[in-house]
Amino acid sequence: MPNDVIEKLKELNLELPEISTPGGNYQSVNIRGKIVYVAIQFPIYNGNFLYKGRLGLEINSQDGYNALQLCALNVLAQINSKVGFEKIVGLNHIDVYYRAVQNWHDSPKIADGASNLFANVLGAKGQHSRGLMGVENFPGNFSVGLITTWTLI
């Protein structure tokens, strides 16, 4: 299954980024009981902070889609590194947070940047429910952030 994920990503011309380190005194992945809690992931690629700014002003909706796809890749990299996909029943729920200007309404479209990746790479294991909230402030001026939980076998 880990190889399946890597292969699926290759077919999509994507690869897992390096896992980022926590920006504080917490764990990127915390397992309690049968649930895997993944800390908020931002659009970081191999140490580079990307997709900063406010949707509808500094960055557009296609950028937002790509930014959330990158957040989802970071989630997959964390699961791959700290848990292993063979130990996962599936994805539970994702909370998509984004920063946008007033009267910007493309959030469902950009959220699919994460949702499509999970569906395409993991199939039924990637099915999830979703929250979608436009916030005001993020560390590092990031445009988006993604919180996920998973269930262990």
E strand residue ranges, 63-128: 88-99
Answer whether 21's CB lies under 8 Å from 109's CB: no
List, in order, residues 6 or more apart from 40 with CB less than 8 Å away.
97, 145, 146, 147
Q: Write the binding mask 40 to 69 for a second copy: x where contact by CB under 8 A, - elsewhere.
A: x-----------------------------
Please select the residue that binds a second copy; options are 4, 15, 22, 62, rule is CB under 8 A: 22
Q: Is 92 in the site for a second copy (CB under 8 A)?
A: yes
Closest CB to a second copy among 3 and 24?
A: 24
Residue numbers 122-151 binding a second copy by CB under 8 A: 127-141, 145, 147, 149, 151
Closest CB to a second copy among 23 and 84?
A: 23
Q: Is 109 in the site for a second copy (CB under 8 A)?
A: yes
d(CA 25, CA 117) in angstroms, rounded, equals 29
Residue from 48, 76, 62 nearest 142 by CA: 48
Q: Is 70 in the site for a second copy (CB under 8 A)?
A: no
Closest CB to a second copy among 7 and 27?
A: 27
List, in order, residues 6 or more apart from 16 with CB less than 8 Å away.
6, 9, 73, 76, 77, 80
Residue appearing with tokens 């700014």: 53
Q: What is the DSSP string of 92-103?
A: EEEEEEEEB-TT
Tell me how far, at minimum, the Cβ of 133 lies from a second copy, in Å.
5
Give contact residues for a second copy (rule: CB under 8 A): 22-30, 32-35, 37-40, 89-95, 97-100, 102-105, 107-109, 111-112, 115-116, 119, 127-141, 145, 147, 149, 151
